[in-house]
Amino acid sequence: MLTKRIIPCLDIKDGRTVKGTNFVDLRDAGDPVELGALYAQEGADELVFLDITATVDDRKTLVNLVREVARHVNIPFTVGGGISSIQDVSALLNAGADKVSINSSAVRNPDLIDELALQFGSQCIIVAIDTRLVDGKDWVHTHGGRKITEIQTIPWAKEVENRGAGEILLTSMDADGTKAGFANALTAHISTHASIPIIASGGAGSMEHFYEVFTDGKADAGLAASIFHFKEISIGDLKNYLSSKGIPMRI
Amino acid sequence: MDIAIVKYNAGNVASVMYALDRIGVKYQWTDDTSILQQADKVIFPGVGEASTAMAHLKEKGLDQLIPQLKQPVLATCIGMQLLCKHSEENDTTCMGVFDVEVKRFQSSDLKIPHVGWNSIRAIQDNPLMEGLKPEEFVYFVHSYYVPVNPFTTAECNYVQPFSAMLHRDNFYAAQFHAEISGMAGQRIIENFLAI
């Protein structure tokens, strides 16, 4: 049986793992290679590395980091942050990333999704959507959630699928950092209207929240960062809990 | 032991190379026909679309060479599909080592592609699954599948039972990505290298 996936996310800044609340107030959370290998050993189903600085100077650091991670990790991993061209993607895949995640650049230039899917295959192209509720509607945000766009979240999810995205990483900026649970209603709506997998992100604070996102939220995968980094929940315990509640898990 | 990874323009093989590094064996990534013929083991990876992949193989004459190889060959993902007779993906004639048709998943309720960790089960004597649990989880990403057939040595269930692994003579094939399938995937590669 196809299992639901548990994905720890490592936010990377200057080669270190960091975590803050609502994308600000960053705290150091450790060495990305060590953490990645540890998570893989604990039973993580995939890893996501998001480079939240992604300035030009940092790109080389990132590629080197990706290579180190790929050497030590035997599960799929995704790299995102500041990716805006075929060359960026090529460098990361050649360094050993299995997938890349694009966000602001896809909003700026939606054709990029088609181009990347054609060049590398949909299976390695994740489109990340940062969404926030403003005046009763869900709007796509870019630049780490700081900037609102004129695009609504639900039609955008459909569009990225039609353009060739292989998966959607949906982050609720309202829920992110709150530890009050995932945005289940929006996640469920997008997941039931999509034929590609939805990775839900933002708001995980307890094991029950993962249960809810897989049942009420109909997500294919649940992603979280701080609760794993700061060892509030261990991946092994979480997967055992979900399995005991009837959620298919790789144990 | 000389291990050769078939070099052609179908997806990135960095994960395959790092998996071999972790096992601690050396390899060459090559499209040189004489090196491929003389290698002790050949790995035929692949990511991407069937007709494009076949076109790249034909450019280098690899579509003729691969079916003639005599040493153990491990084909993964699209590599496995290319060893079949024909694929529904863009109506592509493939290499025909396995006389079966590659089909597209059709489902009204399950998502296509099939992405993630699913369990596989050996259904015949399968040296590649030696030392593994009767049901083992491995990582899949695909929209096309090989139906269960006389060459099937392990099956998986998504939409319906399909071939997770095939075997005929010196040809071994896996639909999933053993190179990123955790310790189970590593064991499958080690078992192949030990044949």
pLDDT of A55 reads: 58
pLDDT > 90? residue B11: no
Confidence grade of residue B10 (pLDDT, cut at 50, 70, 90): low
A197 touches chain B (CB under 8 A): yes
Pairwise CB contact (< 8 Å): A120 & B11:
yes
What total of structural domains would you count in chain B?
1
Which chain A residues touch B118 with a CB distance below 8 Å? 1-3
A166/A113 Cα distance (integer angstroms): 10
The SS3 of residue B108 is: coil
CB A120 within 8 A of CB A98: no
CA distance A27 to chain B (A): 30
- Sheet with B28-30: strands ordered across: B28-30, B3-6, B41-44, B73-76, B171-174, B160-168, B152-158, B114-122, B135-142
A211/A194 Cα distance (integer angstroms): 21
A222/A207 Cα distance (integer angstroms): 11
User: What CATH class has A5-244?
Assistant: alpha beta
CB A182 within 8 A of CB A212: yes
Which chain B residues touch A123 with a CB distance below 8 Å? 47, 113, 115, 141-142
B108/A5 Cα distance (integer angstroms): 22
Mean pLDDT over B112-131 rounds to 93
pLDDT of B173 reads: 98
Q: What is the pLDDT of residues B62-96, one digit of tens each?
A: 999 999 999 999 999 999 999 999 999 999 999 99
Indicate if the alpha-carbon torsion angle B164, B168, B169, B173 is positive or negative.
Answer: negative
**Tokens read off for B70:** 């005599």
pLDDT of B28 reads: 96
pLDDT > 80? residue A21: no
Q: Can you give chain A as a three-state secondary structure string?
A: CCCCEEEEEEEEECCEEEEEECCEEEEEEECHHHHHHHHHHHCCCCEEEEECCCCHHHHHHHHHHHHHHHHHCCCCEEEECCCCCHHHHHHHHHCCCCEEEECHHHHHCCHHHHHHHHHHCHHHEEEEEEEEEECCEEEEEECCCCEEEEEEHHHHHHHHHHHCCCEEEEEECCCCCCCCCCCHHHHHHHHHHCCCCEEEECCCCCHHHHHHHHHCCCCCEEEECHHHHCCCCCHHHHHHHHHHCCCCCCC
Cis peptide before B113 (omega within 30 of 0): yes
Closest partner CB to A2 (pick from B12, B18, B114): B114
pLDDT > 80? residue A220: yes
Catalytic residue (one of B89, B136, B155, B179): B179
Q: What is the pLDDT of residues A97-121, one digit of tens each?
A: 999 999 999 999 999 999 999 888 8
B57/A103 Cα distance (integer angstroms): 34
pLDDT > 80? residue A29: no
Q: What is the pLDDT of residues A151-196, one digit of tens each?
A: 999 999 999 999 999 999 999 999 998 999 999 999 999 999 999 9
Which chain B residues touch A93 with a CB distance below 8 Å? 12, 14
A104/A144 Cα distance (integer angstroms): 8
B119/B8 Cα distance (integer angstroms): 30
| Domain CATH for B23 | 3.40.50.880
What ipTM goes with this model? 0.92
pLDDT of A189 reads: 98
A194 touches chain B (CB under 8 A): yes
Confidence grade of residue A130 (pLDDT, cut at 50, 70, 90): very high
pLDDT of A58 reads: 63
Q: Would residue B89 show up in a list of annotated catalytic residues for this protein? A: no
pLDDT > 90? residue A62: no
Mean pLDDT over A38-55 rounds to 89
Q: Would residue B56 show up in a list of annotated catalytic residues for this protein? A: no
Rg (alpha carbons) of chain B, rounded to whole number: 15
A38 touches chain B (CB under 8 A): no
Range of the domain at B36: 3-193
pLDDT > 70? residue A24: no
Pairwise CB contact (< 8 Å): A195 & B112:
yes
- Provide the residue ranges of all domains of chain A, joining segments of one domain with +: 5-244
Sequence-distant (6+) residues with CB within 8 A of B4 are: B27, B28, B29, B30, B35, B36, B39, B41, B42, B43
